[in-house]
Amino acid sequence: MTRSSDGQPSAAIDPELLAILACPAEHHAPLELDPAGSELLCTQCDRAFPIRDGIPVLLLDEARHRAG
């Protein structure tokens, strides 16, 4: 990690880790990091998965639905 700590507040997910993560739903779509860095957003469905202590919680029971 050579990233400078210039006040970035987020416990951002490692991009290499993010690249191998997928939605736990049956489509297993890739995920993208929320702009706020606090959730992982599915690129196919409307689920948002929380990130707790830098660990993505990829459980359908824990997912939030962005729409409605």
| Interacting residue ranges for Zn ion, rule: CB under 5 A | 23, 25, 29, 42, 44-45, 47
What is the torsional sign of CA 51, 12, 47, 55? negative
Smaller CB separation from Zn ion, 8 or 32: 32
Give SS3 for 8.
coil
Cβ of residue 39: shortest distance to Zn ion, in angstroms? 13
Cα–Cα distance between 28 and 21 in angstroms, integer? Answer: 9
- 22: tokens are 């997928």
Rounded to a whole number of angstroms, the minimum distance from the CB of residue 26 to Zn ion is 9
Closest to Zn ion by CB, 10 or 44 = 44
User: 8 or 17, CB closer to Zn ion?
Assistant: 17
Strand partners, 66: none
